[in-house]
Structure 1
Amino acid sequence: MTNLSLRLGRPLILVLAGLLVVLAVAGLWIGAQERDAQARADERRAAIDAAGAHAVSLLSLHYKTVDADARRILDTSTGAAREEYEANLGRLKSTTVANKVVQDGVLRATGLVSLTGSAAKVLVVADVDIRWEGSKTPPQDRFYRWSMDLTKVGGVWLVSKAVQV
């Protein structure tokens, strides 16, 4: 190799090495951005799913499984919402069993209003078919719309407030 080609080759190698470093850093940055975006999308989906599951739990009651049904309501709630459900639990159970209530809740729609840190607000639309086993009363359809506040507790989204709208 001539002296001239050595002088030209070294800068070219340095430029290529620099370009390779820039590309590697850009790839790492883009990957980190993608992971952050996916994590935010996962959080949104988890909050929405938690609100929907809570709504179905509220509406799905059967007089034969009322204890397990009530447990699902409590397991998906926290704070003021949980306290309210606990306060009304005895009446809910006795009424459900005495009237042989069978309710089948169906989730129709959910939408995220806001998500900041460990707090979220979700709008929920759900319907329920209510019947009374052994009764001649015809089944009834009822339609519910809620605004639910959720709080992340121990890595899990729980409903802390549910207001019918």
Structure 2
Amino acid sequence: ESSSKPESNKQEQPEESKPEEAPQPSQKPEENKQEKPAENQQQTKPVEKPKEVQYMDSMTQQLWSEYNSYRQSLGLNPLKWSGKYAEWTRKHAEEMAKKNTGSYHKSYPEGGQVVGNNSSKNLNASKILQQFKNSPKHNQNITEADLTEGACAVYKSSDGDYYFTIGFDY
């Protein structure tokens, strides 16, 4: 008997209650193109906010004082503070702190530089200078006899890391 076949139930179901079929790529190519940017937007990572950083003025002054004392203990002349290097070292240390780049050397005015970073929460000027003294290449740079002027800068990021630069000239 044909009235008991399942096909008769399908015919009685109204068309509006049928679930819509997903469009196939070959059926609606324009819609697929429009969906791609939405997918890309979902995959895009949110822009990270730059770190909050703080210039450590008293630590910078202390580092400069201890650096010159160290030079004098070796029989070398203390360096004069340079406005040119003060601006450059401050910008460089701030950039390292904001970008969380760690220590890297960058183009600088004439002369040389030593840079560093440290995640120790209880860092002070003496410990920064000790890091440079413990590195043979950095120590050689900061104790060159012909140096005449320079500057330094120390920044602290919101996560507690310190970033520091000493720049110098002949």
TM-score band w.r.t. shorter chain: under 0.3
Higher helix share goes to which structure?
1
Higher strand share goes to which structure?
1
Where relative contact order (Cα < 8 A, 6+ residues apart) is larger, the structure is 2
Q: Which has the larger radius of gyration?
A: 2
TM-score, with structure 1 as normaliser: 0.25
